[in-house]
Amino acid sequence: MRDRKRNDRKPKQYPRLTHPMVRDNGELRRATWEEALDRAAAGFARTTQEYGADAFGMFSCARSTNEMNYVAQKFTRVVMGTNNVDSCNRTCHAPSVAGLSAAFGSGGGTSSYQEVEETDLIIMWGSNARFAHPIFFQHVLKGIHNGARMYAVDPRRTSTAEWADRWLGLNVGTDIPLAHAVGREIIHAGLANTAFIERATSGYEEYAAEVEPWTLSVAEQVTGVPADAIRELAHAYATAERAQMCWTLGITEHHNATDNVRALINLSLLTGHVGRYGSGLQPLRGQNNVQGGGDMGAIPNRLPGFQDILEPEIRTKFEAAWNTVIQPRYGMNLTEMLDGIERGVLRSVYCIGENPAQSEADCEHTIKRLEMLDHLVVQDIFLTKTAELADVVLPASASWCETEGTATNSERRVQRVRKAISPPGEARDDIAILCDLAARLGHDDWKYADSEEVWNELRAVSPDHYGMTYARLEEHQGIQWPCPSEDRIEPTYLHGRLWEKDPARRGMPAPFGPVKHSPPVDLLDERFPIRMTTGRRLDSYNTGVQSSGFASPMRRGEYIELSPEDAATYGVEAGEEVRISSRRGDVTAPVWIDPGLRPGLAFMTMHFPDEVDTNQLTIEATCPIAGTAEYKATAVRIDKPAVSV
């Protein structure tokens, strides 16, 4: 039986925002909607006038509907005239999108949940789906009961790993050496799918040269995974008839995250495990609409329908549809925008439903940056730490249950979001607020009768969504993109074209990514000898603003989880308060002992930042391609707190 000692520490509960607020003399006070909207708009107009369009940035919301994200990015591009729009996809799966689109030209997972039930081999790489994506894991369990084998690759022996045929416990940040060793073994064992490689891929020779040094024994030294286990994984993956490669933030929250993703995609190209029913790549997304936010163009480099801003014909199409001029260059992503604040180039931010003051790595630094802004407007359902810093706070409706619209899940399924309850007090729908602000900034023609009108506007400019009317979404319980026709449903998997015999139909070959190993930035040394990694627990979510609202019997607050060996080494016991310090900050938390951790590895979550602010420890070393920070690899030390006198 599990030990579930609980204590009395209650996480902070957030009451809903019920009225707008503005800042006067340094204090937030209640305001009318008129006053708050006037102030919000005036601030945006002022900074744009003084510093130009690119002084504005939009933090859109991966938790809100597709329709809201479409209007938010249109507001950014048409009303404010910049491409500086992004969302918290940057803190999790932007590298998956970057990696997948570099290889296949499209940033979505290539398979569907049902295919996991009907595959032969499932690899869960850097994913504790049993906790973080429990209902996806039910599909994995169906697959396992149907006879599929499962391999878990994770530094921690997680509850996902408990279901695995084999657990490969690698050292944090050695995913590329492990993937390369698997690739090399497949090549040397003669198990590479040469027909597929020749027909459907490019860059194989360079890839083969890149992985050549990663022999099983070298990889064993670097990753800590026994050579035998690496060989077994390689043979199992290469010889399976169908195989699913699934990953989560263990791959993407690293400074070289896009390279990590490319390393996994390489294995699918090497074996032909992509573009067929049951064979594919599944990045498991962390927010209800992080896929859709990007699909809707709420990212700095793509217009709605994941269409590239740099393509002149694409821009022309949108310029005609929106009666505007779109800047022919990428905007700043979230990471660059935060940096831009510090450099004084970004002066005003419109933050919708995001909490960067607590979600960003090295959050003290982020708060300082947000305080430097001339004008910060926060639109949220709670007075979050970020909202406390705002000049104007606008109370919004909770999109998942107080608005109509759609959201897109990890398997690219667009599903209807429906209004079940009315928002409290004066809280209003996000889209209505955006339109009111647009009107104050010279676009008084922005009127949408309902979310379906927004959706139909999006369908007209996005071929991948064209066939999805609200009526069809209802009829089919959601439809996966691409869906270009109103008469057809496309296959559940992407990139079947790679298997076409006719080169013209096969299209662009998928390039291997010859990526190199780069160890975590935050090095271990004598002062900071413990590798701390982060993740989610089953009953809590992100910065805890939502999940603190219900009384989970399993919730136990924040702990630093240590291996039994390390606890013995440092002479600490379960429940004992210790100080955890990194090169950036320190926090105190009680000790929890988890035999699933290997010596030298510690674990914390970010669920209780008001209690233990884990992101004071994490490093803001970001992926240069996707901008995601290395939440997964922090060097820390553990000390008994000094006895107070």
Partner 1 sequence: MTTVPKPVPVPVQLGLPRRLVEFALDDEPVRVPEGSTILDACEAVGKDIPTLCYGDTLTPKNACRVCVVEVEGARTLAPACSRKAEPGMTVRTDTERARHSRKIVLELLASSVDLSTTPHVAGWIREYGAEPDRFGPDAATVADRAPKVDNDLYVRDYGKCIMCYKCVDACGDQWQNTFAIAVAGRGFDNTISVEHDAPLTDSACVYCGNCIEVCPTGALSFKTEFDMREAGTWDEDAQTEATTICAYCGVGCNLTLHVQDNEIVKVTSPHDNPVTHGNLCIKGRFGFQHVQNRD
240 binds partner 1 (CB under 8 A): yes
Please select the residue that binds partner 1; options are 50, 241, 311, 573, rule is CB under 8 A. Answer: 241
> What minimum distance in Å lies between the beta carbon of 11 and partner 1?
11
454 binds partner 1 (CB under 8 A): no
386 binds partner 1 (CB under 8 A): no
Q: What share of the chain is helix, strand, coil (3-state, %, to 5)?
A: 40, 15, 45
429 binds partner 1 (CB under 8 A): no
Please select the residue that binds partner 1; options are 67, 360, 411, 457, rule is CB under 8 A. Answer: 411
Please select the residue that binds partner 1; options are 70, 75, 104, 136, rule is CB under 8 A. Answer: 136
408 binds partner 1 (CB under 8 A): yes
> What minimum distance in Å lies between the beta carbon of 494 and partner 1?
17
Stretch that binds partner 1, among 19-27, 198-206, 233-241, 442-450 (CB under 8 A): 233-241
H or E stretch covering 103: helix 94-104
Cβ closest to partner 1, residue 414 vs residue 461: 414
281 binds partner 1 (CB under 8 A): no
- Indicate the DSSP class of residue 168: E
217 binds partner 1 (CB under 8 A): no
133 binds partner 1 (CB under 8 A): yes
CA 404 – CA 387 distance, rounded (Å): 25
565 binds partner 1 (CB under 8 A): no
Please select the residue that binds partner 1; options are 7, 26, 29, 145, rule is CB under 8 A. Answer: 145
**DSSP string spanning 205-257?**
HHHHHHHTT--HHHHHHHH---HHHHHHHHHHHHH-SSEEEEE-HHHHSSTTH
Cβ closest to partner 1, residue 142 vs residue 579: 142
> What minimum distance in Å lies between the beta carbon of 152 and partner 1?
15
Please select the residue that binds partner 1; options are 301, 335, 399, 462, rule is CB under 8 A. Answer: 399
Please select the residue that binds partner 1; options are 422, 488, 504, 571, rule is CB under 8 A. Answer: 422
Rounded to the nearest angstrom, the gap between the alpha carbon of residue 613 and the centroid of all alpha carbons in its chain is: 20
Stretch that binds partner 1, among 75-83, 143-151, 339-347, 626-634 (CB under 8 A): 143-151
> What minimum distance in Å lies between the beta carbon of 66 and partner 1?
11
Output the 3-class SS for 310-348.
CCHHHHHHHHHHHCCCCCCCCCCCHHHHHHHHHHCCCCE
Give CA separation, 312 vs 315, 319, 465, in Å: 5, 10, 21
149 binds partner 1 (CB under 8 A): yes
CA 530 – CA 274 distance, rounded (Å): 38
284 binds partner 1 (CB under 8 A): yes
Print the binding letters for residues 302-341 with partner 1: x by CB under 8 A, - otherwise: ----------------------------------------
1 binds partner 1 (CB under 8 A): yes
Q: For the chain, give me the number of helices (H) and strands (E)?
A: 24, 25
Cβ closest to partner 1, residue 425 vs residue 599: 425
Q: Which residues pair with 168 in a beta bridge?
A: 153
H or E stretch covering 282: strand 280-283
69 binds partner 1 (CB under 8 A): no
**Contact assessment for residue 437 and residue 37, using Cβ atoms and an 8 Å cutoff:** yes
Please select the residue that binds partner 1; options are 21, 172, 208, 290, rule is CB under 8 A. Answer: 290
> What minimum distance in Å lies between the beta carbon of 350 and partner 1?
21
Starting at the edge strand that comes first in sequence, how are the strands of the sheet with 149-153 ordered? 166-168, 149-153, 121-125, 243-247, 280-283
456 binds partner 1 (CB under 8 A): no
CA 225 – CA 3 distance, rounded (Å): 29
Stretch that binds partner 1, among 204-212, 317-325, 339-347, 548-556 (CB under 8 A): 548-556
CA 83 – CA 1 distance, rounded (Å): 54
CA 280 – CA 272 distance, rounded (Å): 9
167 binds partner 1 (CB under 8 A): no
Treating both helix axes as pointing N-terminal to C-terminal, what angle do 33-51 and 430-440 enclose, rounded to 10 degrees?
A: 60
> What phi-psi label fits residue 353: left (phi over 0), alpha (psi between -120 and 50 degrees) or beta?
left
Stretch that binds partner 1, among 213-221, 289-297, 432-440, 572-580 (CB under 8 A): 289-297
H or E stretch covering 123: strand 121-125
Please select the residue that binds partner 1; options are 45, 101, 105, 138, rule is CB under 8 A. Answer: 138
- Omega before residue 95 within 30° of 0, cis: no
Stretch that binds partner 1, among 265-273, 483-491, 543-551, 567-575 (CB under 8 A): 543-551
413 binds partner 1 (CB under 8 A): yes
372 binds partner 1 (CB under 8 A): no
Please select the residue that binds partner 1; options are 124, 153, 229, 593, rule is CB under 8 A. Answer: 229
49 binds partner 1 (CB under 8 A): no
Stretch that binds partner 1, among 45-53, 99-107, 231-239, 521-529 (CB under 8 A): 231-239
Map the footprint of partner 1 across residues 463-492, applying CB under 8 A.
Answer: 477-478
What is the SS3 assignment for 560? strand
Please select the residue that binds partner 1; options are 287, 462, 543, 582, rule is CB under 8 A. Answer: 287
Q: Is the dihedral of CA 395, 401, 403, 407 positive or negative?
A: positive
Please select the residue that binds partner 1; options are 101, 114, 202, 215, rule is CB under 8 A. Answer: 114
**Contact assessment for residue 179 and residue 267, using Cβ atoms and an 8 Å cutoff:** yes
204: amino acid identity, one letter: Y
> What minimum distance in Å lies between the beta carbon of 277 and partner 1?
8
Query: Both tokens of residue 561?
Result: 């989880």
**Contact assessment for residue 259 and residue 252, using Cβ atoms and an 8 Å cutoff:** no
Please select the residue that binds partner 1; options are 195, 421, 449, 645, rule is CB under 8 A. Answer: 421
Cβ closest to partner 1, residue 185 vs residue 402: 402
Total residues contacting partner 1 by CB under 8 A comes to: 84
Give CA separation, 187 vs 190, 209, 225, 234, 235, in Å: 5, 11, 19, 10, 10
415 binds partner 1 (CB under 8 A): yes
127 binds partner 1 (CB under 8 A): no
Q: Which of 642, 640, 626 is nearest to 252 (CA)?
A: 626
Helix runs in 485-632, H state only: 503-506, 564-570
| Polymer length of the chain | 645
Cβ closest to partner 1, residue 61 vs residue 208: 61
193 binds partner 1 (CB under 8 A): no
